[in-house]
């Protein structure tokens, strides 16, 4: 049991429980909604508020597993919880809220905060990958092993992507976190026809098993952002996060009125290392020859760095979340948790705790429910782009939590939200409509109006561009249900990428990097859930509503 405060009632507390004075604090804490337990040796998992604290500092109570606990004493000063507070917390606790769970692979590990320490991790990874590749080649050259020429002839079989090297990549990205881990998570949701299957499996492990920072490091961020008296803002806060992502980790907490909250705490140093992290990661990955050539061109890297800078600004994210909460206030299917303003700073963000399971855990649901989820996702994408002109562009599965009890999806993580100008959406909606109508000439013309093309591209490039747009527009062209699970969209687009990368004369509009990542994520979610839904009428209705509002 960890406890870091003094109590004016030491002797009385210990004597009342028949315990030595050194264990008086263990006898004092009250587990709300459970039994009074004071078992020596249980590790506290909850931060509570002291009732008789003599000095500032963190206070950890509660049994392993995250049970709620709160130090309470009737003679303590005003910072303790009263009977009404206890009642509210007990009632809130009785309402079990499903939530994502931290991966079994996640470990407590200090975040390297300085650029030098982060560079050292990438340097160590590069050396480790080189040695691992040599070992893999040597092993395959032995009798009974595959020859290097045989191995390299198969896609995704680079010696740099051996199992040992895969573990090195996972461990390094989970250690440094930040922009490098974000890039890995973005690649994890790509189809295996787009990147090496081995690399895709590596990034899938990265997406599910980010490490979390130690208590001391986490407390330092809380004190720097919320002040040394940050405990006064909450009734309790769990020590171990229930989610650890690329930019920060999320802890479950409770306000004094019993409201359950999720508190996101940013890792130290990640905001200052965005550019160097991306460059270091891509330099290492190029050793594996596993990324498509031209995947991260200079313009796309600039856009990515801007988006990551936005994601590191939690005040901006809070404003975006509040905007979406207003925009979707009347939506029957989607909900946005409320922002807790007193828990919002540049590196700390508090919101209502949301329940549900990520999209990739919905594959076992009935076909009707999967269809409904995917239909609503596409409806949301169209509303965001053509009605709100404001979109949450991060398609990570964990940003969409499906709650079976309410049949609703909760939206999370608004750091990468951005606006789209009317000039852009005017042309973009016409490109989609041309594809839906099978009009290849109009697709080409509107792509030039959108400044996606110059009009001087080679015929091979123009044909490849139009074909890619037509493929992506197929769901909106078919009158009946479109079977996303049976389609080979990713493979067909993949075959066009070499031409598109080699012959492009100008970079695409800056807005399209984030937009196409979001749309690709939505299509991949539909494919993963094997959705069969009618999309044409949905888009046609969106199209007519868009121009009606523009002309009003």
User: What is the C-alpha R_g of the chain?
Assistant: 26
In a domain, residue 2? The reply is: no
> Considering 191, 211, 277, 394, which one is annotated as catalytic?
394
* 75-79, 172-176, 419-423, 447-451: least confident range: 75-79
Q: Which two tokens stand for residue 166?
A: 């895969």
User: Same domain, yes or no, for 441 and 374?
Assistant: yes
- Does 433 score more than 60 pLDDT? yes
In a domain, residue 99? The reply is: no
In a domain, residue 77? The reply is: yes
- Give the DSSP letter string of 145-170: SPPHHHHHTSTT--GGGSHHHHHHHH
Helix ranges (DSSP H) in 249-395: 274-286, 298-311, 314-327, 367-383
Which residue would you say has higher pLDDT here, 419 or 209? 419
Query: What is the tens place of the pLDDT at every residue in 104-131?
Result: 666 777 777 666 776 676 666 666 656 5
Find how far residue 149's CA is from the centre of its chain. Answer: 39
What integer pLDDT is reported at residue 279 of this predicted model? 73
What integer pLDDT is reported at residue 99 of this predicted model? 58
Indicate which CATH number applies to the domain containing 340.
3.30.200.20
User: Same domain, yes or no, for 65 and 176?
Assistant: no
- Give the DSSP letter string of 428-446: HHHHHHHHHTT-HHHHHHH
User: Same domain, yes or no, for 419 and 389?
Assistant: yes
**Rounded CA gap, 253 and 326, in Å?**
24
Tell me the average pLDDT across 403-432: 96
- Does 153 score more than 80 pLDDT? no
Query: What is the tens place of the pLDDT at every residue in 134-149?
Result: 555 555 555 555 544 4
User: Same domain, yes or no, for 186 and 205?
Assistant: yes
In a domain, residue 108? The reply is: no
User: Same domain, yes or no, for 325 and 396?
Assistant: no
Query: What is the tens place of the pLDDT at every residue in 212-245?
Result: 888 999 999 999 999 999 999 999 999 999 988 7
What integer pLDDT is reported at residue 328 of this predicted model? 98
User: Same domain, yes or no, for 182 and 289?
Assistant: yes
User: Same domain, yes or no, for 288 and 151?
Assistant: yes
In a domain, residue 406? The reply is: yes
User: Same domain, yes or no, for 187 and 150?
Assistant: yes
What integer pLDDT is reported at residue 65 of this predicted model? 35
At 72, is the pLDDT very low, low, confident or very high (cuts 50, 70, 90)? very low
- Does 468 score more than 80 pLDDT? yes
In a domain, residue 307? The reply is: no
Q: What is the reported pTM?
A: 0.71
- The number of C-alpha atoms within 13 Å of 409 and in the hemisphere containing its C-beta is 24
What integer pLDDT is reported at residue 88 of this predicted model? 56
How many helices and strands, by DSSP H and E, does the chain display? Answer: 20, 17
Q: How many domains does the chain have?
A: 4
Q: Can 537 be counted among the known catalytic residues?
A: no
Domain hosting 424: range is: 356-552
Tell me the average pLDDT across 24-53: 35
Q: Report the SS3 class of residue 518.
A: helix
- Give the DSSP letter string of 468-510: HHHHHTHHHH-SS-EETTT--HHHHHHHHHHHHHHH--SPPPH
User: Same domain, yes or no, for 205 and 244?
Assistant: no
In a domain, residue 135? The reply is: yes
3-class secondary structure for 80-138? CCCHHHHHHHHHHHHCCCCCCCCCCCCCECCCCCCHHHHHHHHHHHHHHHHHHHHHHHH
At 310, is the pLDDT very low, low, confident or very high (cuts 50, 70, 90)? very high
Beta strand pairing call for 334-335 and 408-411? parallel
In a domain, residue 303? The reply is: no
How many other CB atoms are there within 10 angstroms of residue 21's CB atom?
11
Find how far residue 165's CA is from the centre of its chain. Answer: 25
Last residue of a domain, one of 94, 129, 154: 94
**Rounded CA gap, 182 and 310, in Å?**
13
User: Same domain, yes or no, for 154 and 245?
Assistant: no
Tell me the average pLDDT across 419-425: 97
Tell me the average pLDDT across 359-363: 92
Q: Which two tokens stand for residue 367?
A: 């076909």
CB 163 within 8 A of CB 211: no
User: Same domain, yes or no, for 432 and 467?
Assistant: yes
User: Same domain, yes or no, for 411 and 533?
Assistant: yes
């Amino acid at each position: 049991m960890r406890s870091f405060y003094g109590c004016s009632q030491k002797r009385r507390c210990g004597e009342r429980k028949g315990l030595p004075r050194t264990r008086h604090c263990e006898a004092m804490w009250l587990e709300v909604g459970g039994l009074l337990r004071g078992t020596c040796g249980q590790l506290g998992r909850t931060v509570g508020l002291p009732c008789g604290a003599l000095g500032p500092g963190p206070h950890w109570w509660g049994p392993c597993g995250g049970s709620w606990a709160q130090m309470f004493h009737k003679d303590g000063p005003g910072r303790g919880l009263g009977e009404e507070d206890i009642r509210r917390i007990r009632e809130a606790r009785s309402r079990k809220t499903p939530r994502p769970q931290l991966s079994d692979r996640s470990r407590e590990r200090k975040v390297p905060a300085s650029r030098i320490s982060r560079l050292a991790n990438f340097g160590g990874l590069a050396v480790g990958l080189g040695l691992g590749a040599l070992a893999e080649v040597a092993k395959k050259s032995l009798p009974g092993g595959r020859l290097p020429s045989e191995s390299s002839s198969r896609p995704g079989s680079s010696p740099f992507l051996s199992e040992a090297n895969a573990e090195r990549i996972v461990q390094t990205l989970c250690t440094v976190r930040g922009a490098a881990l974000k890039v890995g998570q973005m690649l994890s949701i790509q189809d295996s026809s787009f990147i090496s299957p081995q690399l895709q499996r590596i990034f899938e492990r990265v997406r599910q098993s980010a490490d979390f920072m130690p208590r001391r490091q986490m407390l330092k961020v809380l004190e720097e952002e919320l002040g040394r008296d940050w405990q006064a803002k909450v009734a309790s806060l769990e020590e171990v996060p229930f989610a650890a992502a690329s930019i920060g980790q999320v802890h479950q907490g409770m306000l004094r009125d019993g409201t359950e909250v999720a508190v996101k705490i940013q890792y130290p140093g990640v905001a200052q290392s965005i550019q160097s992290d991306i460059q270091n990661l891509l330099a290492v990955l190029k050793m594996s020859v596993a990324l498509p050539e031209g995947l991260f061109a200079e313009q796309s890297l600039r856009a990515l760095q801007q988006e990551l800078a936005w994601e590191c600004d939690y005040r901006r994210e809070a404003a975006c979340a509040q905007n979406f909460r207003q925009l979707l206030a009347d939506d029957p299917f989607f909900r946005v948790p409320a922002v807790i303003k007193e828990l919002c700073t540049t590196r700390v963000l508090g919101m209502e705790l949301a329940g549900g399971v990520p999209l990739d855990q919905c594959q076992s649901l009935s076909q009707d429910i999967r269809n409904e989820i995917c239909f609503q996702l596409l409806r949301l994408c169209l509303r965001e782009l053509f009605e709100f002109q404001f979109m949450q562009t991060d398609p990570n599965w964990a940003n969409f939590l499906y709650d079976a009890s309410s049949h609703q999806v909760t939206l999370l993580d608004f750091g990468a939200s951005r606006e789209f100008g009317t000039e852009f959406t005017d042309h973009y909606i016409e490109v989609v409509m041309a594809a839906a109508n099978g009009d290849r000439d109009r697709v080409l013309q509107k792509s030039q109006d959108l400044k996606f093309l110059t009009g001087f591209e080679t015929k091979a490039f123009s044909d490849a561009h139009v074909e890619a747009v037509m493929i992506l527009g197929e769901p909106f062209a078919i009158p009946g249900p479109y079977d996303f699970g049976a389609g080979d969209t990713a493979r067909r687009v993949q075959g066009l990428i070499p031409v598109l990368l080699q012959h492009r004369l100008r970079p695409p509009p800056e807005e399209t990097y984030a937009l196409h990542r979001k749309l690709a994520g939505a299509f991949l979610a539909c494919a993963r859930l094997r959705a069969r839904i009618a999309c044409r009428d949905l888009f046609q209705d969106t199209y007519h509503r868009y121009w009606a509002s523009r002309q009003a």
